[in-house]
Chain A
């Protein structure tokens, strides 16, 4: 979407742009992140990892509101969230 002018509240209410990264070597396909993502950013894909686990994939990265729950619930420490080039856990603390 292209904006013809910058909204007045752009600086403090714009959604943070977050990148969700899933480590393909660590993901074991438990499906926790896909099930409990509040914005349906993640879903279970059909691709298999090198160890034969069904991988979770980022379906729609633009929807991410950077709550960080996927990072927290991943049993394999495979999900990492970065907002504006900062790792999510750093911002929160």
Chain B
């Protein structure tokens, strides 16, 4: 029976390794709320927790794998998706969830990301996008908007960023959504849908990084970032992915952009395997 201090059975106690807390993330980091939503989404989806495996790469959000009471693996930098693909091929019953950051998924693991989307591997990818490499000191990342200051671009970023929903749409992902850490109820529902969606589903979570990115960009507190999201975000479900690019001070379009059905890698593989078996028998 839970008491007033909440010590009892709850979703957090069920899925989070509370003996590992306090976690390593900085005060006001956005990974905590995103993880909270993810744990609730697992509970809401009704999936068997023994059949879910969480795979993460390197970076702040890579630490998620160590904090969940589920089967998890902390892979090398950028290789979370290949590991999840292998896991899924070896045991199709498992639900593979990749929880990682934008630097890990879109920079060093960028090739794996687009190819997993092209093959339509049945997995859920949750990308914490904080626009920089937070763990190593705030270097410029592949999603850093034009003109932002980071520790390696102190006079402003001169590169153009990736528009992740467009990249994934072009590669063939079947479910694409984006929310900020302020849209938590929506994020929870989206993660539930993404977990239950057969095929490659991608959820981008815009997250504050006050300790390194925010400090360089006039948002030294996490609250400053949240207030800026509150002001800038526009909910537009079904928006065209090519219109959802993020600029330094421009609007952040959030919502569920793409939800289509396409045969997954496993369905296609089964068809071809059947045909191959028949041909071998006949010859």
Q: Which of B20-28, B241-249, B274-282 contacts A (4 or more CB under 8 A)?
A: B20-28
Contact string against A for B residues 13-41, beta-carbon threshold 8 Å, 1 for contact and 0 otherwise: 00010100111010111111100110010
| CA–CA, A32 and B227, complex, Å | 10
State which of A28, A31, A93 has its C-beta within 8 Å of the C-beta of B40: A93
Q: Are A89 and B40 in contact (CB under 8 A)?
A: yes
* Total residues of chain A contacting the partner, CB 8 A: 30
Q: Are B2 and A86 in contact (CB under 8 A)?
A: yes
* Total residues of chain B contacting the partner, CB 8 A: 38
Is A73 at the interface (CB under 8 A from chain B)?
Answer: yes
Is A38 at the interface (CB under 8 A from chain B)?
Answer: no
Contact residues in B for A21 (Cβ distance below 8 Å): 4-6
Contact residues in B for A30 (Cβ distance below 8 Å): 27-28, 221-223
Is B10 at the interface (CB under 8 A from chain A)?
Answer: yes
Q: Are B43 and A77 in contact (CB under 8 A)?
A: no
Q: Are A85 and B2 in contact (CB under 8 A)?
A: yes
State which of B8, B10, B223 has its C-beta within 8 Å of the C-beta of A32: B223
CB distance from B92 to the nearest CB of A (A): 27
CB distance from A35 to the nearest CB of B (A): 6
Q: Are B184 and A76 in contact (CB under 8 A)?
A: no
Check A80/B27 contact, CB under 8 A, given A32-B222, A72-B33, A74-B33. no
Pair count A-B, CB < 8 A: 99
Q: Are A77 and B21 in contact (CB under 8 A)?
A: yes
Contact residues in A for B22 (Cβ distance below 8 Å): 25-26, 28, 76
Contacts of A39-93 to chain B: CB distance below 8 A:
53, 69, 71-77, 80-82, 85-90, 93
State which of A29, A75, A85 has its C-beta within 8 Å of the C-beta of B33: A75
Closest 3 CB pairs of A and B: A80-B6, A75-B32, A30-B28
A to B CB contacts below 8 Å, 28 in the list:
A19-B4, A21-B6, A25-B22, A28-B22, A30-B221, A30-B222, A31-B221, A32-B33, A32-B223, A36-B182, A72-B36, A72-B37, A75-B27, A75-B29, A75-B30, A76-B21, A76-B23, A77-B16, A80-B12, A82-B3, A82-B4, A85-B2, A87-B8, A87-B10, A89-B43, A90-B9, A93-B11, A93-B43
A interface residues (Cβ-Cβ under 8 A, vs B): 19, 21, 25-26, 28-32, 35-36, 53, 69, 71-77, 80-82, 85-90, 93
B interface residues (Cβ-Cβ under 8 A, vs A): 1-6, 8-12, 16, 18, 21-23, 25, 27-33, 36-37, 40, 43-44, 181-182, 184-185, 188, 221-223, 226
